[in-house]
Structure formats: C-alpha cells, structure tokens
Amino acid sequence: MPSARSRTYALVLVNAITAMRLVGSLALLALAPLSAPYYVAYAACGASDALDGWIARRAGATSAFGVSFDSVADTVFALALVASLLPAAELPLFVWLWIAAIALVKLAALAVGYARFRAYAALHTYANKLAGLALFFLPVLFAFAGSVPAAVAVCALATFAALEELVLTVKAPALDPNVKGVLGFRRKR
C-alpha cells in the first residue's frame, strides 16, 4: 500500500501526463497535418494516454478527478485529431454526415449523463477504447488504406461505441465510467 505522500506525488504525475495530452492536442491544431512535428505531437498524445492510466493503477493513485480529467483529455485529443486531419483528407459527403451523426450521438450521451448524474459521463467501455485506438491510428490508416476506407472503418467502430455509450447511459442505475460495455452492465435486483 503506497504512503499518502507517494500517492500524492503519483496523482500529480498522472495529472501532469494527462495535461500533456491537452497541450499536445492543441499543438496538433497548429501543425501541418502529417508533417514530422505533427507526428511527434501525435505520438506524445498517444503515449500520454497509455501512460497516465497505467501509472495511476500501478501506483494506487486513481481518483474520480483523474478519471474525468482523462476523459476530457481524450475528448479534446479526438476532436483535435479530427479537426486537424480530416480537412486535409478528401472525403465524400456521406462520411462527413456520418461523422456529424456520431458526434450528435456522443453529445446526446453526454447530455443524458449530465441530466441523470450531474457529471461528465464519458464511459471507458471496450468499444470506446477500440474506437479511440482506431482514431489514434487514423493517420497511419490514411497512408496505407486511403482516406475513405480508413474513415469508413473508424466511423463504423465509432458508431457502435457511441450507440453503446448512449444505451448504457440511459439504462444505468448509477454512473460507472469504467463499465466495460453492454455485457458488463448488470441490473441490480
């Protein structure tokens, strides 16, 4: 069991790593998409996303604030990636409409979560993690598969994740940001 002092240091470290993702996300908006500096900022954001939770769990330094802060940083990173990368891609109208529909479902889930639980209710489901991972690799997918097939694949995953999050937020008896997904949701009788 870590001491109170070491837990405090770990909390500060973890939150600083999460904050780095916010700074890196803003950098993505200022850098030329797919340039070397863009990839450096993009990799730093990905590394911070992998490290903050891992360190928090290993150090016994998880907190409600940390979970929410991580969710906000993930959201900002995803939005920055989309805002910086997709305008550089030539995508058909149906993909843009699909992205808008996914965003509306995600916003609906957040609105329902706030209305029901008075909290930022982004869920860390397996589907959300998989969609986030696919979004993270979008620049690589663009290079190897082309922008339209890559965008369609990521949109398909993101659609399932967004719909699952909305259903879970509507049905959950209490907010559990770490619910694993529809199979991890059980009603208490």
The yes-or-no verdict on residue 44 having pLDDT over 70 is yes
What's the domain count of the chain?
A: 2
> In sequence order, what are the residues at sequence separation of 6 or more whose Cβ sits closer than 8 angstroms to the Cβ of residue 46?
136
Same domain assignment for residues 139 and 67: no
Same domain assignment for residues 36 and 119: no
Same domain assignment for residues 100 and 22: no
Same domain assignment for residues 129 and 68: no
Range of the domain at 23: 1-87
With bands split at pLDDT 50, 70 and 90, how would you rate the model's confidence at 178?
confident
According to DSSP, residue 34 is labeled T
H or E element: which one contains 123? none
Same domain assignment for residues 46 and 127: no
Same domain assignment for residues 42 and 20: yes
Same domain assignment for residues 34 and 53: yes
Distance of CA 177 to the CA centre of its chain: 12
pLDDT, tens only, 72-129 = 999 899 899 889 987 888 899 999 999 999 999 999 999 999 999 998 888 989 999 9
Angle (CA) 54-76-172 rounded to 5° is 70
Same domain assignment for residues 121 and 184: yes
For 189, other C-beta atoms within 10 Å of its C-beta total 3
Same domain assignment for residues 54 and 123: no
- The pLDDT of 158-166, averaged and rounded, is 97
Same domain assignment for residues 14 and 37: yes
User: DSSP letters of 125-174?
Assistant: -HHHHHHHHHHHTHHHHHHHH-HHHHHHHHHHHHHHHHHHHHHHHHH-SS
